[in-house]
Chains A and B, each alone.
Chain A
Amino acid sequence: AQSVTQPDIHITVSEGASLELRCNYSYGATPYLFWYVQSPGQGLQLLLKYFSGDTLVQGIKGFEAEFKRSQSSFNLRKPSVHWSDAAEYFCAVGAEGGKLIFGQGTELSVKP
């Protein structure tokens, strides 16, 4: 069965520092992978997605993610974090019927 694991429940980084959020997936075939961001009290917004081609994917708000099949990972990165990036981040894999299977989420706090 497909599953997604985000090992870090909560991460705190200083503003201007780099960020990496980890995501590991379990899926039999080539996965369709997504990163969504959820600001407090809001719905989810797509940051980026991967389903084929270049393994380094660029997204909105300066985020990127790299698909590594050998490690079953799809980690999200940003070179310089802004205070407005504080939010919950969800990694997800696309499953049959167009369903999304989400990881538990990583809450990002940004220190001034």
Chain B
Amino acid sequence: DAMVIQNPRYQVTQFGKPVTLSCSQTLNHNVMYWYQQKSSQAPKLLFHYYDKDFNNEADTPDNFQSRRPNTSFCFLDIRSPGLGDAAMYLCATSRDGGVQETQYFGPGTRLLVL
């Protein structure tokens, strides 16, 4: 089945220690999104890629970076995680980023910062 895969499902890191979260997709979609979802809150878009074009949300901290080496993979890098970065990180894809398009979500990576 075509799907969005996130690894790892759970990640524990130390305060200030860089961490990378991974997302891959077999849908061959052009757009990949990263959302941050804190406990009991709505998902909040951090950034997205349309193909290789990176689109950062205005209020995304510089501490968050992303890479998309090819169509299938996208990475979220947190350079110096703080306690406030503990959250569920959701990856999603859509075919072409149209307003009416469905986004397909992965299961998420839950990040714990000690």
Contacts and interface: CB of A to CB of B under 8 A. Distances in A.
A46 interface: yes
Interface in B10-51: 31, 33, 40-45, 48
B60 to A, nearest CB: 12
Chain B interface size, under 10 / 10 to 19 / 20 to 34 / 35 or more: 20 to 34
B91 to A, nearest CB: 8
B78 to A, nearest CB: 19
A70 interface: no
Given A43-B90, A44-B90, A49 B100 contact: yes
A32 to B, nearest CB: 5
B42 A90 contact: yes
A99 B42 contact: no
Given A42-B107, A43-B106, A97 B48 contact: yes
B4 interface: yes
Interface string B77-114: 00000000000001010101111111111111010000
A65 to B, nearest CB: 15
B110 A41 contact: yes
A38 B2 CA distance: 19
A46 B108 CA distance: 15
Interface in A15-33: 32
A102 interface: yes
A103 B42 contact: yes
Contact of B43 (A44, A46, A51, A98): A44
Interface of A: 32, 34, 36, 41-46, 49, 51, 90, 94-100, 102-105
